[in-house]
Structure 1
């Protein structure tokens, strides 16, 4: 329990050991996700040659990853509510590790697409489950730790891509992806044991109430700060005209927007909110490239990319409105009768 200091303010709570263990374990799952996915992407050219697929057939087969992810995310939200975020994280991580070894066993674009549906389902399910677990932990410690988990995902992706580039000339796709499977199962067994044995934030009683009535001083200002970050980054993206700087700002903006959006959705609606936010995000990944292609053909590439800037500005405006609404509602709840 927090104690009052001499100044009358409430001292920050000391994180119990299980919080640190959970944070490390969840970070490992984020890193594993990026590592496995990047390792698979490196071997796509070799798989294309193996199945003798045209560029169009390969594109349709690769669509299986996005379709499988989007189709599974809302279901995963329901499973998390029923069985808990931690068990679903462990199961989907094991499925992802096993399914990544299947593409080298296929011999046609159709078979590859079906296999990638399974891979995408495991990938999407894992993303919902570990994001929900991360949101719960962030609420328990009352600190903005979600970006650190997504940094672990990026680090895992960098390692997976770099290692894949080194191994590609030395190993066949099957041997390489089987190595990913073995690595994934080892990490899942180690981090999963921690996840399953360590009580979650709800069980330890540290999770704050979602109605905001237990708000502590400065918590509302932190929410406003995240919203300002969201607006500022998106504003920079829409105004920048220098190509390389624009790419850098786009990456910086997306890296911060997704954790903030998922965290807000999880705070409002738990695993279901995380599932909805993830589904919308991956639907954008699924629909974005063909939409930009059609727009570029009709209006040119600059005109097509302008729509992205316009949508980014709209998202920033909505974030501002939502942030003000949440702060206003907190103020009304705290006002004396």
Structure 2
């Protein structure tokens, strides 16, 4: 509870922090709004490309500007969350992301598009870190993992944005469409912002405990945070690639109508939302390591199907498989990072993870110019396999349990139960390479001792 004094009447004003349910809803709305804004943009990428005359390489450069803007703001957002409050930063970031959504639709040149996406990317990068940090606080107050469900709101928002964007592409100009998206986002934030700001009154209770090494000294597990970000980033690469290039692939390679092309990303987002909603039950049924490795391999199969087929239904089905497979990797990794390092931990792992999400599209653009778009999108499968290898490379005996806020159920990330029952040949093949990587990792390997499941 926060008490302030009015300068005129000198009467105490009591501000009651929002209830857990109200705060959880506000954070879910922020995630959903973030997904809606991004999905709306993703559905209109072909139209923006045509309006600016951008080819594959030029569009890749523009998307790189979006990535650079986002990555530049992520670390600063983590610092701001610790200094002025996660709720305040989340509210400001949500307003900024909504307002900046209109910028790409106003451009008529590649240079203007690069500038617009640099600003838009900075706003989306800030809201990503702030929303994940707020989600970690909600988990701590609730006493149970909830971040996967909150990420489902992002996927649902992306689905809605893609569907609306696909319908709008048939008769509404991209500038008007994105302007309406901005107005809607600002209206939503008018309700959510006061709730998010009010949550800062109880933020002190959600900070993660200090991690103590066996020798008794406190330490920040930087290596672990980077590794968790790498696992998330290897799979987020696929999300970024499909969001910005999936519709274009369906249009160019399979002659899909604009609405059907947008349905590819919509199917991906809906599958990801369903997978995240079922994430808790899947972990209990399969074990987390099996879920992560198996999901990554399912995503790899779906990506290969989508880029090698000449059938539109098969390609759409491949996008669905990618969404289902990648659904829970990112939120599980970021939730653990938040438990270990608070907002700064979320910022570090999110920065590494979103390097894949935001760096994937420009890489796809450069590859598409020289090898063709289907081949470029095929790298989504390679990155999914890399994520599986990273998970397999974490030895359960070397991982120690992190300190968690009181009342939390301990997650079983990278548990001791091996996946060799179903993936023994693959594990044997990659083990020598993993051993060589470990031997050269130095500090990172020592940091891995901070986790235990």
Cα distance in structure 2, aligned partners of 1:276 and 1:187:
28
Please give the per-residue CA displacement for 1:179-219, whole angstroms capped at 9, x wherever unaligned: 0011000111111111123455435x46674559xxxxxxx
Assess, with a 3 A threshold, how the Cα gap between structure 1 residues 326 and 256 changes in structure 2: closer, same or farther: same
The residue number in structure 2 matching 1:56 is 57
Structure 1: how far apart are the matches of 2:377 and 2:31?
35
2:311 aligned with 1:311, yes or no? no
In structure 2, relative to structure 1, the CA distance for the partners of 1:320 and 1:189 (3 Å cut) is farther
Q: Which residue of 2 aligns with 1:232?
A: 290
Q: Within 2, Cα distance between the matches of 1:272 and 1:143?
A: 21
For residues 108 and 377 of structure 2, the distance between their equivalents in structure 1, rounded to whole angstroms, comes to: 40
Number of matched residues? 301
Give the deviation of 1:233 after TM superposition: 2.1
Query: How far has the Cα of 1:72 moved from its partner?
Result: 1.2
Gaps in structure 1 of 5+ consecutive residues: 1-15, 213-221, 331-337
Q: Distance in 2 between matches of 1:261 and 1:324?
A: 15
Number of the residue aligned with 1:157: 158
Structure having greater relative contact order (Cα 8 Å, sep ≥ 6): 1
**Deviations 1:101-144 (Å, cap 9, x if unpaired)?**
11222221011101100000100110000100100110221211
Q: CA deviation at 1:318?
A: 4.6
The 1:302/1:76 distance shift into structure 2, 3 A limit, reads closer
The DSSP-based 3-state class of the residue aligned with 1:326 is: coil
Aligned to 2:339: 267
Residue 418 of structure 2 corresponds to residue 326 of structure 1: no
How far apart in 2 are the matches of 1:318 and 1:186?
A: 46
Distance 1:102 1:242 in 2: 36
Question: TM-score, normalised to structure 2's length?
Answer: 0.59
| Mean Cα deviation higher: 300-309 or 132-141 | 300-309
Structure 1 window deviating more from structure 2 (264-273 vs 284-293): it is: 284-293
User: How far does residue 56 in structure 1 lie from its aligned partner after superposition?
Assistant: 1.9
Asked if the contact 1:48/1:58 (under 8 Å) is kept, the reply is: yes
- 1:113 corresponding residue in structure 2: 114
Aligned equivalent of 1:11: none
Alpha carbons of structure 1 residues 75 and 170: separation in structure 2 relative to 1, 3 Å: same
Equivalent residue number for residue 30 of structure 2:
29
Q: CA deviation at 1:63?
A: 1.7
Q: Secondary structure at the match of 1:171?
A: coil
Q: Which stretch shows the higher mean deviation, 86-95 or 169-178?
A: 169-178
The within-5 A match list for 1:173-184 is 173-184=174-185
Rounded to whole Å, the distance in 1 between the matches of 2:397 and 2:29 is: 32
Distance 1:57 1:263 in 2: 36
- For 1:239 and 1:52, the matched residues in 2 are separated by 37
Unaligned runs of 5+ in 2: 1-16, 213-279, 306-316, 405-409, 411-453
Matching residue of 2:258 = none
Aligned partners of 2:357 and 2:397: how far apart in 1?
A: 24
8 Å CA contact 1:230–1:316 kept in 2: the answer is no
Query: Residue 293 of structure 2: SS of its match in structure 1?
Result: helix
Corresponding residue number in structure 1 for 2:91? 90
Equivalent residues in 2 for 1:127-276, closer than 5 Å: 127-203=128-204, 205=205, 209-211=209-211, 229-237=287-295, 243=302, 250-276=322-348
Do the aligned partners of 2:69 and 2:122 also contact (CA within 8 Å) in 1? yes
Partner of 1:281: 353
For the structure 1 residues 47 and 328, does the alpha-carbon distance in structure 2 shift closer, same or farther, using more than 3 Å as the test? closer
TM-score, length basis structure 1: 0.77
Secondary structure of the residue aligned to 1:325 is coil
Q: 1:272 to 1:242 in 2, by over 3 A?
A: closer
Query: Structure 1 residue 319: deviation in Å?
Result: 4.8
Q: What is the alpha-carbon root mean square deviation over aligned residues? A: 3.5
